[in-house]
Amino acid sequence: MPEDAGSEVAELQRELEAAYAQLVEAHKMASLGRLLASVVHEINTPIGSILSNNEVILRSLEKLKQQLGASRIEEALDIIEIMKSLAAVDKIACERISSVVRGLKTFARVDDSEWRKVDLNESIRNTLKLAGCEFRRRVVVETDLADLPEVECLPSMLNQVFLNILVNAGQAIEGEGKVTVRTRPEGDCVRVSISDTGRGIKPEYVQRIFMPGFTTKPVGIGTGLGLSISRQIVVERHGGSIDFESEPGAGTTFHIRIPIEHPRPAEPNRS
Ligand SMILES: Nc1ncnc2c1ncn2[C@@H]1O[C@H](COP(=O)(O)OP(=O)(O)OP(=O)(O)O)[C@@H](O)[C@H]1O
Ligand SMILES: [Mg+2]
């Protein structure tokens, strides 16, 4: 190949990679956007309860002052007990808010594009905090997370994969159901398996679900890019694998395997 053509190909390759990176980012933002309503609800509910508890506490303090002024110790102690239980409820409400915020921060980090060693259980827990907002009361989440060796990976990319597959799992369930997340060390990999009790994948779709643009969801719900992006991240970037088993009407399980060590030769020469 002439040198010019070679450099043109390299240039096109770079442009393609940049466009693809933008697509991945846009898909992540669209998924987050769709989750936003449930995230806001998840934060608003505990804030509402903190606010109303606070009003009761303020009124109770006023009463407490009166009771103590009249040396009615028994009554004063009762009021203190009520305030203690309200403060305990507030603590739970604050924990719920900060847990959702932690989940959001995991995805908002733009500086997290380096290879790092991470505990994938931690990534799963953070991603579940976000996906859980959507599942709340409709889908029960069960986790079975084994002790794992740290995995060398692009953590924010893998979070995106877990989010895509969890959102798909939730969307596959009509009404109530269950999503189970399992992690296991497996030879030189870590396996993450995400199961749902949803509608399953029809045999005629099985060959196509990883194709970019393939979706069975209405416009505005699905773009058909989630699994194709997930496969690219898992297989091309991490040298891992992603596959699934599905029984129509009963549910689906996706298995993601990520090598513990990042295969060095695939890394571009940065010197
Ligand atoms: N857990 C699942 N259960 C049943 N069908 C699934 C499941 N996961 C994926 N699918 C099928 O595979 C198709 C492609 O999934 P993919 O995540 O790539 O796109 P999407 O969910 O339709 O849209 P997007 O993820 O871009 O919002 C889905 O439309 C659905 O038909
Ligand atoms: Mg999807």
Q: What spacing in Å lies between the alpha carbon of 34 and ligand 2's midpoint?
A: 11
> Judging by beta carbons within 10 Å of its beta carbon (0-12, 13-18, 19+), is residue 69 exposed, middle or buried?
exposed
pLDDT at 115 over 60: yes
pLDDT of 118 reads 94
Which pLDDT band, with edges at 50, 70 and 90, does 58 fall under? very high
The verdict on the CB of residue 153 being under 6 Å from ligand 1 is: no
Domain definitions of the chain by residue range: 1-108, 115-266
Q: Is the CB of 106 under 6 A from ligand 1?
A: no
Supply the pLDDT for residue 271.
Answer: 44
Are residues 135 and 175 in contact, defined by beta-carbon separation less than 8 angstroms? no
pLDDT, the chain, mean? 92
pLDDT at residue 3 tops 80 = no
pLDDT surpassing 50 at residue 78: yes
Task: Report the separation in Å between the CA atom of 206 and the middle of ligand 1, taken as the mean of its atom positions.
Answer: 11
Q: What percent of the chain has pLDDT over 70?
A: 95
**Which residues are registered as beta bridge partners of 117?**
152
Check residue 125 and give its pLDDT.
94
Three-state secondary-structure class, residue 192: strand
48: part of which helix (H) or strand (E)?
Answer: helix 3-69
How do residues 175-207 score in pLDDT, each as one tens digit? 999 999 999 999 999 999 999 999 999 999 999
- Look at residue 33 and tell me whether its pLDDT is greater than 50: yes
Is the distance from CB of 198 to CB of 207 less than 8 angstroms? no
**CA–CA distance, 180 with 203 (Å, rounded to integer):** 23
Fold of 115-266: Heat Shock Protein 90 (3.30.565)
Q: pLDDT at residue 57 above 80?
A: yes
Average pLDDT over residues 80-103: 94
Q: Which whole number is the average pLDDT over 41-53?
A: 94
Mean pLDDT of the region 143-159: 96
Q: What tokens does 172 get?
A: 């596959």
pTM, rounded to two decimals: 0.87
C-alpha of residue 245 to centroid of ligand 1, in Å: 14
Give, using CA atoms, the residue closest to atom 21 of ligand 1.
222
In this model, does residue 75 exceed pLDDT 90?
A: yes
3-state secondary structure of 63: helix
What pLDDT shows up at residue 97? 94
pLDDT on residue 265: 55
> pLDDT at position 262, please?
86
The whole-number average pLDDT for the span 233-254 is 97
- The 8-class DSSP code of residue 236 comes to I
The DSSP string of 80-92 is HHHHHHHHHHHHH
Whether 258 lines ligand 1, by a CB cut-off of 6 Å, is: no
Question: Ligand 1 within 6 A of 172 CB?
Answer: yes
